[in-house]
């Protein structure tokens, strides 16, 4: 959505500019608060499109700043301003993620099941299933997690198929099948598998172990009796060192 700030009321335009400037500088708390102010001003001007956009941007900013309570308020406000079923379904995934971030695990599970029962587009359905899996995992409900992982694995495609493998690996690990988590990813595309393997070079014998990167274990101290160059006489203390 492109905004022509010059055509907006002055206070609203200033709030949006502050939000954009703060987001560009990665000051996410300031950005979220500025977007919240912009949303209030947009509602006062009956600009529901801008108010909806501001609510979504506030959600993104507060999540980046790890503020689950403020994020949850933004999602609920965005849901109130959205009438399109597809957009509401997408916001439901945001809502469940916010509830998980806030530690409201039972409410997150209940919300996910209600949204799934109401019927959502296939791509949103898989996202909600993954969110439900996260809630069940956090609650330790392995039986419920097994059923959800099976549904997710049977209907997910693309990146969501990777999410299904990840959930399957988590479940296998919790069930004690420690050899199976890595096997869950053997069929996934791995672009790094074709890159040449980097092997650390051996440390030359004349380089000190202290100056060689990656040295974690100090080698045994060499005996002065075996490191003296040929033809050189012993130094004071060599005999004592060799006898130790």
The predicted-structure confidence for 30-53, as pLDDT tens digits, reads as follows 999 999 999 999 999 999 989 989
**What pLDDT shows up at residue 58?**
93
Helix 122-139 with 105-118: angle, nearest 10 deg: 150
Distance CA 159, CA 127 (A): 10
**What pLDDT shows up at residue 122?**
78
**What pLDDT shows up at residue 32?**
94
The predicted model gives 203-212 an average pLDDT of 42
pLDDT interval class at 119 (50, 70, 90) = confident
Distance CA 70, CA 29 (A): 10
**What pLDDT shows up at residue 191?**
44
Q: To the nearest whole number, what is the mean pLDDT of the chain?
A: 76
pLDDT interval class at 180 (50, 70, 90) = low
Its pTM stands at 0.60
* pLDDT tens figures, 61-106: 998 998 888 888 888 888 888 888 778 888 888 888 888 888 899 9
Residue 199's SS3 state is coil
Residue where the block lists tokens 């097994």: 146
Distance CA 225, CA 228 (A): 6
**What pLDDT shows up at residue 236?**
54
CA distances from 209 to 85, 165, 204, 226, 242 (A): 64, 43, 9, 18, 22
């Amino acid at each position: 959505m492109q905004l022509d700030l010059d055509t907006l009321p002055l206070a609203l335009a200033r709030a949006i500019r502050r939000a954009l400037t703060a987001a560009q500088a990665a000051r996410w708390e300031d950005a979220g608060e500025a977007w919240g102010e912009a949303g209030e001003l947009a509602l006062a001007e009956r600009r529901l499109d801008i108010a909806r956009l501001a609510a979504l941007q506030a959600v993104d900013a507060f999540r980046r700043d790890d503020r689950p309570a403020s994020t949850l308020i933004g999602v609920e406000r965005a849901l109130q301003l959205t009438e399109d079923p597809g957009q509401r379904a997408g916001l439901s995934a945001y809502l469940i993620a916010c509830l998980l971030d806030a530690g409201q695990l039972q409410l997150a599970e209940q919300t996910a099941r209600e949204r799934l029962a109401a019927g959502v587009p296939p791509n949103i359905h898989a996202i909600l299933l993954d969110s439900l899996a996260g809630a069940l995992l956090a609650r330790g409900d392995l039986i419920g997690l097994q059923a959800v992982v099976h549904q997710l694995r049977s209907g997910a495609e693309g990146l969501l198929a990777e999410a299904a493998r990840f959930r399957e690996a988590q479940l296998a690990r919790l069930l004690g099948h420690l050899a199976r988590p890595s096997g869950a990813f053997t069929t996934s595309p791995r672009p790094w598998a074709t890159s040449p393997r980097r092997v650390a070079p051996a440390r030359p014998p004349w380089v000190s172990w202290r100056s060689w990167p990656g040295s974690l274990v100090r080698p045994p101290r060499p005996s002065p009796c075996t490191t003296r160059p040929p033809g050189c006489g012993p130094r004071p203390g060599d005999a004592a060192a060799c006898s130790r």
